[in-house]
Amino acid sequence: MLPRASCRLQAINIHYQNATLRLFSSQVHVNSIDLTANDFRRNYETALPYSEIPGPSAFTLMKNALPGGKLFGKEFDVISKEYRREYGDLFKFPSIFGSMEFVATHKPEDFQTVFRTEGQWPERMGLKTMIHYRTKVRPDIFGKHSGLANAQGKEWGDFRSAVNPVMMQPRNTMIYIPKVDAVAVDFVKRIQRIRNAKTKEVPDNFENELNKWALEAVAVIAMDARLGLLHDNYNKRSAKLIQGARDAFRLMFELEFRPSLWRFISTPKFKKFIEALDAVTDVSCEIIEEAGERFNKKPESSENHDESVLEKLLQIDPLLAKVMAIDMLFGGIDTTSSAITSLLYLLAKNPDKQENLRQEIMTKLPNKDSSLTAESMKHFPYLRACLKESLRVLPTVGGNVRTVAQNIILQGYQIPKGTTVSMGTGALLREDEHFPNANKYEPERWLKKDGVPAPAKSAHPYIFLPFGFGPRMCVGKRFAEMEIETLVARIIRNFHVEWHHPDLKFKFTSVNVPADKLLFTFKDI
Ligand code: HEM
């Protein structure tokens, strides 16, 4: 323990918490935007009752979702699209087999109402499968913590206040650039090794390679550990972690959102899910323990400015540090690799944009072995725009969710406090009404030119929220953006990225993942 560092962290923590509260205080309790409490109460009483929100009955939903039904095996975005066509921009998904009833909306004004009334401790429904696993199956590891993503109320507020200064401050992200860049350089070498010598196309397991990069990069930030995943003979333990995270993510989605009896009996899928989570938990704990031993061996006097997230959090609360590190390993694989897949694919399909990006990168990486620094990363506005645009055209997550914190009115209907509302932002990102030429990949729409604001700024501000919104937004946002930008800068500096196959499809699990093999071609510059 380092008491002085701990005090410093707590001071930053309090400062950050105050700043965060200031930032969002103007957004609290304004559902009635500009209405007095009495006016709002009157409006609420005369609004249409919640029970009248249109939508399929539990029976129809079951019938459609079971074998032979019109939506059998369909992804959530397809089901949502179908019901939106049938019922309009607001409809209700009833509860089946103990799953949660929720309201789905596709109107930006509704997103604004929900977010601006979310309060100090916004609630996003916890994942019942994860909470069950952590509190009932593995309390030995997780103690009272079901994880940041699943905690609610003050427990969430305390957890988040502890991790925010370490994970959300830009300064604390930049310090990891050299280490994350070293991972990117290794990945470039890996591409050179594994691609076909003649065609330069990578093997059909390239998605797994991207997963390995994502885990290697997040581990270096989370616990200053190089796992060696980019070597030819990477160890079985890490393979188990990747496979476990991938299986758990996909099964979690099925168990949470499709009809399932797991709440009543341990179904085969549920057993597989527990096995997958056990693999993630056990391997993560081993890696964390090894990191802890390394930190203990560090001399007291050694520099601590680029301490890992784990090391910093250990000085605040060891259990919280462990749970957050596990969540970083678990949550930092599929998300980041899905986002980078979309970006590489869109750059491959739009060679002119790829060339613009290369020109920008060349200014700071004149040689292939020039170093990427925090300073050089500040000068890549086009790279940032390319990432934003790919998160718009092929978003990693399809929407946002909140449990509403007070009674509100959406599209004339009463939405009582405690209702789960799913905001289908993903569906609107490809609509011309919000983004002209919405299907076109145009990073320029995110850039201001000659003093003229970026065209994308004229879209409703609550539609493009790839990392969520407000105090509960993605805690890994800054790390994810930095990891992706670093790797893409390295790749585009080294290769022409090409795609010579039918259009790549994505499927919606908990995140959008590629449905086909990632057969990219990487030709040397
Ligand atoms: C491109 C990559 C990523 C995307 C698009 C993404 C997106 C999201 C979104 C939309 C949320 C919900 C936010 C809200 O409700 O307002 C979220 C939450 C979260 N994300 Fe990410 N994420 C990404 C990467 C990561 C990474 C790398 C980590 C770990 C280092 C991470 C950890 C988390 C955690 C722990 C939460 C829950 C936060 C809370 O409830 O306080 N994410 N993410």
* Token pair recorded at residue 81: 């699209």
Q: Are 162 and 133 in contact (CB under 8 A)?
A: no
Q: Is the CB of 328 under 6 A from ligand 1?
A: yes
* CA gap 288, 265 in Å, rounded: 33
Q: Is the CB of 327 under 6 A from ligand 1?
A: yes
pLDDT, position 33: 53
Q: How far, in Å, from the CA of 480 to the mean position of ligand 1?
A: 9
- Please report the atom of ligand 1 found closest to the CA of residue 484: 1
Q: How far, in Å, from the CA of 475 to the mean position of ligand 1?
A: 6
pLDDT, position 300: 66
Q: Is the CB of 24 under 6 A from ligand 1?
A: no
User: Is this complex's ipTM strictly greater than 0.95?
Assistant: yes
| Nearest of 223, 221, 291, 285 to residue 480 by alpha carbon | 221
Q: Is the CB of 510 under 6 A from ligand 1?
A: no
The DSSP-derived string for 68-120 is TSTTTT--HHHHHHHHHHHH-SEEEEPP-TTPPPEEEE--HHHHHHHHHT--S
pLDDT, position 28: 34
Q: Is the CB of 469 under 6 A from ligand 1?
A: yes
Q: Is the CB of 310 under 6 A from ligand 1?
A: no
Q: Are 173 and 475 in contact (CB under 8 A)?
A: no
Which of 474, 479, 481 gets mutated to test ligand 1 (max ligand atoms within 8 A of its CB)?
474
| Nearest of 122, 88, 172 to residue 420 by alpha carbon | 122
Angle between the N-to-C axes of helices 206-223 and 334-349, in degrees from 0 to 180, rounded to the nearest 10: 130
Residues in the chain with pLDDT values less than 70: 1-34, 259, 300-305
Q: How far, in Å, from the CA of 468 to the mean position of ligand 1?
A: 8
φ, ψ of residue 18 in degrees (nearest 5): -60, -45
Q: Is the CB of 467 under 6 A from ligand 1?
A: yes
pLDDT, position 236: 81
Contacts of 399 (CB under 8 A, 6+ apart): 422, 423, 424, 425, 426, 427
Angle between the N-to-C axes of helices 477-494 and 351-364, in degrees from 0 to 180, rounded to the nearest 10: 100
- pLDDT (tens digit, 9 = 90+) per residue, 376-406? 999 999 999 999 999 999 999 989 999 999 9
Contacts of 233 (CB under 8 A, 6+ apart): none
Domains plus CATH for the chain?
Answer: 36-296+306-524 (1.10.630.10)
pLDDT, position 303: 61
- pLDDT (tens digit, 9 = 90+) per residue, 151-192? 999 999 999 999 999 999 988 899 999 999 999 999 999 999
- Cα 58 to the chain's mean position, in Å? 30
Place of tokens 């031993």: 293
285 marked ligand binding residue: no
What pTM was estimated for this model as a whole?
0.91
pLDDT, position 70: 83
SS3 403: strand
Q: How far, in Å, from the CA of 476 to the mean position of ligand 1?
A: 5
Q: Whose CA is nearest to atom 42 of ligand 1?
A: 476
- Please report the atom of ligand 1 found closest to the CA of residue 214: 27
HSE-up (13 A, CA, CB side) for residue 136 = 8
Burial class (CB in 10 A: 0-12, 13-18, 19+), 267: middle
pLDDT, position 305: 60
Q: Whose CA is nearest to atom 9 of ligand 1?
A: 467
HSE-up (13 A, CA, CB side) for residue 108 = 14
pLDDT, position 417: 96
